[in-house]
C-alpha cells in the first residue's frame, strides 16, 4: 500500500491512471479502477482533473444492448507535441510527434562543421522555429530530448563526443538560455533502446539495443529503467577492445570494437580501398544484389567481428531481448542467421535477437517518447508505432 502525504499519493495515482489509459488506448473509469486497485471515487476525481487539463478525452461508444452506453477515456494526443533530435556525425535530424508518438514532422540538416558553437546555433535556431510553428494547441511542444553520440552524465552534461572531440560542454544549459522549452540531453543508444521498448517490445523489461551506425553504443533497460553506471557512462561498448594492438581509435585505445563493426568504418574502408569519392548504403546494396564476391566476403568478416562483441554483451548481461540497430544488417540477406551461427557458446543465454525495424529514425522516436514520458510523469509507456 502506498503511504505518504496527500500530494505525493495524488501524484502517484495520477501516474497510474495515465499509464493505464495510454497502455489500453481506450478504457472506462470502472476498468481503470479494477486495473489499478484505486477506488472509483479516486479515479473519478483524477479523471475530472485530467479532462480539465485537456490531457484526456471522453468517447461514448455505440452499442445495441439495453443499458447505459459506456464512456471511454483516451489520451488527447493532439493536445501537445514532442520534439526528438539526433545530433549525429555530419547530420542533425529533427522529429516531431503527437503525444501518442505518431510522426507529425521530420527534417534533417547536413552539418559540415563539428565545432560546438556552430552546432549549438543550428539547434537554437531550429528549436525556436519549431516551437513557434507547433504552438497551435494547448501545450505546444511539451519537451525536447536531444540524443548525443557520446558520453552524457547523469547530470545531463556532455562529457565527451569522440567524433566531434567535444569535451565537457553544457548543452542543456546553453539551450535553455536561448529556448523557452524543457530540454533534456540523453545518450543516443539509450534513446534507441527506449524506442524499441516503448513502440515494439512491450513484453520485456530486460532489453539491450546496440546502435552500430557511426559508432557503437549500447542502450540497456533493466526492470524498465536505464542502466547508466556510476556516472551515467555505461554502454560505451564500442570501445571494448576486441583486437589487442589493433586499429587506432579516436578514444585513445587500439583495437576497439567499433573500428571493426561500426557501419561508418566499414563504408569508409571500402571507399578508401576502391579509391571512390563516396560509398553509401545504396552503393553497398547494389553490389550485394550483383553478387560482388569481394563485398560478400567483407560482409561476412564484418558479421564475424560484430558477433565477437555481441557474444561479450550476452555473457555480461544475460538479457531477454537484444536489438541491433543498423542499416547493413537490414540490407544484407540472412545477416541475422549468419550472426546467430557465431553465437554457439553453451554459456550464452538470451531469448530473442532481432534487427530493428524502426529504421534510421529509431533514436529520434525514442527521444520523442522520452519527452512524452517526462511530460506525463509516468514510469513507462506502451505506444503503437504509427507512421505520419
Number of separate domains in the chain? 3
- What is the model's pTM? 0.90
Q: Is the pLDDT of residue 64 over 60?
A: no
- Give per-residue pLDDT as tens, 161-197: 888 889 999 999 999 999 999 999 999 999 999 999 9
Residue 208 is classified by DSSP as: E
Residues 107 and 142 occupy one common structural domain: yes
Q: Same domain, yes or no, for 246 and 340?
A: yes
Question: Tens of pLDDT along 20-60?
Answer: 999 999 999 999 999 999 999 999 999 999 999 999 999 87
Residues facing 146 on adjacent strands: 85, 185
Q: Please indicate, yes or no, whether residues 83 and 65 belong to a single structural domain of this protein.
A: no
Which domain range does residue 102 map to? Answer: 78-193+362-376
Q: State whether 369 and 348 are in the same domain.
A: no
Whether residue 388 is contained in a domain is answered as no
Residue written as grid cell 538560455? 177
Q: 71 with 82, same domain?
A: no
Q: Are residues 213 and 336 in the same domain?
A: yes
Predicted confidence at residue 359, as pLDDT, reads 81
CATH assignment of the domain containing 48: 1.10.10.10
User: Any idea what the CATH number is for the domain that residue 348 is in?
Assistant: 3.30.420.40
Three-class SS state of 48: helix
Same domain for 349 and 228, yes or no, is yes
Contacts of 68 (CB under 8 A, 6+ apart): none
Question: Which single residue is written with the C-alpha cell 507529425?
Answer: 104
Residue 222 has pLDDT above 50, yes or no: yes
CB atoms within 10 A of CB 115: 12
Query: Is 14 inside any structural domain?
Result: yes
Print burial letters for 142-175: b (CB count within 10 Å at least 16), e (below 16): bbbbbbbbbbbbeebbbbbbbebebeebebbebb
343-379 tens-digit pLDDT:
887 777 888 999 999 888 999 999 999 999 999 999 9
Amino acid at each position: 500500500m502506498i503511504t505518504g502525504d496527500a500530494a505525493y499519493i495524488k501524484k502517484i495515482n495520477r501516474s497510474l491512471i495515465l499509464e493505464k489509459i495510454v497502455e489500453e488506448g481506450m478504457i472506462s473509469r470502472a476498468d481503470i479502477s479494477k486495473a489499478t486497485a484505486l477506488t472509483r471515487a479516486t479515479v473519478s476525481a483524477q479523471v475530472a482533473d485530467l479532462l480539465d487539463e485537456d490531457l484526456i478525452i471522453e468517447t461514448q461508444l455505440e452499442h445495441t444492448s439495453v443499458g447505459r452506453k459506456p464512456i471511454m477515456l483516451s489520451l488527447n494526443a493532439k493536445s501537445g507535441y514532442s520534439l526528438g533530435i539526433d545530433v549525429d556525425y555530419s547530420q542533425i535530424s529533427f522529429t516531431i510527434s503527437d503525444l501518442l508518438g505518431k510522426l507529425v514532422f521530420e527534417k534533417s540538416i547536413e552539418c559540415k562543421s563539428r565545432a560546438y558553437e556552430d552546432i549549438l546555433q543550428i539547434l537554437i535556431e531550429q528549436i525556436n522555429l519549431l516551437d513557434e510553428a507547433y504552438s497551435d494547441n494547448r501545450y505546444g511542444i511539451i519537451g525536447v530530448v536531444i540524443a548525443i553520440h557520446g558520453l552524457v552524465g547523469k547530470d545531463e552534461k556532455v562529457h565527451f563526443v569522440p567524433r566531434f572531440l567535444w569535451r565537457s560542454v553544457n548543452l542543456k544549459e546553453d539551450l535553455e538560455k536561448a529556448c523557452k522549452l524543457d530540454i533534456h540531453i540523453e545518450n543516443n543508444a539509450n534513446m534507441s533502446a527506449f524506442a524499441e521498448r516503448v513502440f515494439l517490445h512491450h513484453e520485456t523489461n530486460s532489453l539491450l539495443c546496440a546502435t552500430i551506425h557511426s559508432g557503437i553504443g549500447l542502450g540497456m533497460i533493466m526492470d524498465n529503467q536505464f542502466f547508466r553506471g556510476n556516472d551515467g557512462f555505461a554502454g560505451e561498448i564500442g570501445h571494448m577492445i576486441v583486437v589487442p594492438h589493433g586499429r587506432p581509435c579516436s578514444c585513445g585505445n587500439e583495437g576497439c570494437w567499433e573500428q571493426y563493426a561500426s557501419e561508418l568504418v566499414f563504408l569508409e574502408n571500402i571507399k578508401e580501398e576502391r579509391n571512390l569519392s563516396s560509398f553509401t548504403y545504396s552503393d553497398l546494396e547494389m553490389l550485394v544484389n550483383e553478387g560482388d564476391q569481394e563485398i560478400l566476403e567483407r560482409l561476412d568478416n564484418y558479421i564475424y567481428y560484430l558477433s565477437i562483441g555481441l557474444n561479450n554483451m550476452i555473457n555480461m548481461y544475460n538479457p531477454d531481448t537484444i536489438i541491433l540497430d543498423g542499416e547493413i544488417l537490414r540490407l544484407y540477406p540472412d545477416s541475422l542467421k549468419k550472426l546467430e551461427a557465431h553465437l554457439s557458446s553453451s554459456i550464452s543465454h538470451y531469448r530473442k535477437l532481432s534487427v530493428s525495424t524502426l529504421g534510421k529514425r529509431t533514436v529520434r522516436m525514442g527521444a520523442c517518447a522520452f519527452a512524452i514520458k517526462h511530460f506525463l510523469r509516468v514510469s513507462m509507456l506502451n505506444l503503437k508505432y504509427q507512421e505520419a
